[in-house]
Each structure stands twice: as C-alpha cells, then as structure tokens.
Amino acid sequence: MILLPSQQRLIAAMPRPAAPEALAAALARLEAISLAAILRVLIEQRALVAETGRDAAAVAAALGAAPRHVWLIGRWLAVLAARGLIVRDGAGYRRAAETAPEVATEALDAAYAALGFPPGMAGLHRLALGHLVDLARDRTGLPELVFRNGGDLADLGAYQRNHFTAALNAVCAELVALRPRRVVELGAGLGHTTEAVRARLGALPPDYLFTDVSRLFTLAAERRHGVDTALLDIDRDPREQGRAPGSAALVLATNVLHNAVDAVRALTHIRTLLAPGGWLVFSESVDDSAATLGAMQFLLSPAPGAPRPGSGDERAREGRVFLDTAGWRRALEGAGLAIHSILPEEDDPLALAGQRLFIAQAPEESA
C-alpha cells in the first residue's frame, strides 16, 4: 500500500490560471453561443415549432437526424428547456420565441483564450456550429469536417487542452511520481496526460503502459514517447485481453470512462486490473457542457448498431452520457472501490467547467 497526500496537498499541485475571475464569464459566453446556434437550427429546419410540443424522437425526425444521434437531440432539448430557451410541453418541447436567435461566433476566440484553450479550438467549434445539420444527418462527421478544412488530430484534440484539464493532469503526474511503477493509462488517446507525466518525471517510467481501443493512437504513442502500448477496451474484461489480474499498481483514465456502456462493469474490470490496495485516478465531466453539445458530443454517438455509452447503467433513464458526482460515487461503491479524494472542490474556480478528478483505491485484499 502507498499513502497518498491529503486533498489539500493535491489541490496545491494544481496550476492556476492568471485570471480565474474571467473563467465564469467565458464559459457562460461559450454556452450562450452554442445553445443559440442549436436553437437557430431547430427553428430554421422547422424541427421545433410553437404550435405543438414534440418529443425528442419527433424533433430528431423533423430535423432528419441519423438514428444514432437521437439521444444527442434529446440532450439539446433538455438543456435548452433547463435554460428557459424553449418550453417543456407535457412529454414534448416547443419553441418559445418568434424569431431565431443571432449567433455571435466571433466571440468564440476571446472566450476560448480566457479558458486556456489553444487557438484552434475556436475554429473547430465555429466549424461544427456552421455544419450542425450535416453533422446531425451524418452527411459528415466531426473528424472528416476538421480534416477537409486542413486540420489534423491535434486540432480535433484541442478541447482537451485548457486550464481545467491542465490542473487535473498535473495531479495525475504527481501521483505517478509517488508510485512510478506498474502504471496503466486507459484510453490514452492523443497522450495529453502522458505528456504531463513525462514532463513531471523527465521521462516516462519504464513499465508505463499506454493503452487505447485504437491502434492509431498506440502507434503514435510508440513513435512519440517510445512507450509500451496495448489495445484495451474498458467494456471488456482485461483478462480476456491479455492483462493479468492485479498487474497494475496505478490506473489512470482521463476523460474516457464516460464511454463505458455500463460504468459499474467498467470499474469492476479496472478493479480486476488493480493490485490489492492499488489506485484508480480518473477525470470526468460530471454534467452536460452546453458548449460541447453542438460540437464534441457528436463524437459520443455510437456507430450504427453499437450500444450507446451509458445505455447499460443509470444514465439510460435520461439519455445521458455523463454521470454526476453522486453517480460516480455510486458506481465506485458498486465496483468495490473506495474514494480517497474528488478534485477540485465545489467552490474552486477550476470546478466551473464541470470536470472532476476522482481518486479511488482497491481493497487491500483481492476479491
């Protein structure tokens, strides 16, 4: 067993933006722009009308949305109603305003800059908002849209570089520094957390294992970091994928566990991977971000015929992809993992984006 620092010491390891007071205003601006663009499309396409309420399936049908995106249309409507921008009418929704709202996408640049995103993020969001109908109808996908307009994987991953993820990745790196052996990173993707660990230690630990479901990402990690890699799917038992039980002292998973069909089952798989007393450190969004509803959440729609993330657990009731903090507590308890810390604290400016880092421990005795 290894003892971890107190929550306050971990908070102290989180880098702070120069102007934390500007974060709330910038986030509010992004949400307003995104929701205005979504509402404008729904009105212009006559998917949302004033005369009668329509449920999510009817709105999606009127929009011509692909079946795999119907869940996302449902989230659009739920968030628009929660913000008072449309009217909840029984089991359906109807428009509240006579005219479609203006969409001030020129303000995206300053808002994203204030939040610490790279310049390309504003362009990516602007591109997505300008093609909402095509994205909803599967005439194009977000990666294809980015690549056709001269972008690459780094542009597509720009949403993972900001003040909030930098703070959480810094804590991940500190925890790896405490126990730099038998580390497994799940869903490592473009390697942003891997980079933070490497920067903190000067080099990756010799038995750091970089995993993902895509060979595209593992090959890139091998070339860039010279790290050991493996394909690993959180929805499947790691033993069926060649990973020995108890082989990890520390498992990292940043912004990946929401992709699980069943969160408790995925966490149980991770518990199998952990040694007795081992640690799981994972970051997650704990609420819908209105800013991402019109862009990055298209990436969460399953391939045709595949199960949707969350469809096997409590998220299915409301068509959500993201569990809230209480939901993750329940899921961790259901998997037999004990919570050590949740960062940042609710009154911290870094909590505004709805990102949390969960630190949990496996039992000292194996199941």
Please check the confidence at residue 367 and state whether its pLDDT lies above 50: no
Please check the confidence at residue 228 and state whether its pLDDT lies above 60: yes
pLDDT at position 155, please?
82
Mean pLDDT, all residues of the chain: 94
Q: What is the pLDDT of residues 109-162, one digit of tens each?
A: 999 999 999 989 999 999 999 999 999 999 999 999 999 988 887 888 888 999
State the Rg of the chain over Cα: 21
pLDDT at position 366, please?
52
pLDDT tier for residue 3 given thresholds of 50, 70 and 90: low
Q: Where does the chain have alpha helices with state H?
A: 7-12, 23-44, 56-63, 70-82, 108-114, 120-129, 132-136, 142-148, 153-156, 163-178, 192-201, 215-225, 263-273, 325-334
**Residues contacting 130, CB < 8 A, separation 6+:** 105
Sign of the alpha-carbon dihedral angle for 166, 172, 178, 182: negative
**Token digits of residue 211:** 């995993």
| 266 φψ region: left (φ > 0), alpha (ψ -120 to 50), beta (else) | alpha
Please check the confidence at residue 361 and state whether its pLDDT lies above 90: yes
pLDDT at position 89, please?
87
Please check the confidence at residue 102 and state whether its pLDDT lies above 50: yes
DSSP structure string for 212-242: ES-HHHHHHHHHHH--EEEE--TTS-GGGGT
Give pTM, 2 decimals.
Answer: 0.94
Q: What is the pLDDT of residues 197-222, one digit of tens each?
A: 999 999 999 999 999 999 999 999 99
Please check the confidence at residue 233 and state whether its pLDDT lies above 50: yes
Report the pLDDT averaged over residues 41-52: 94
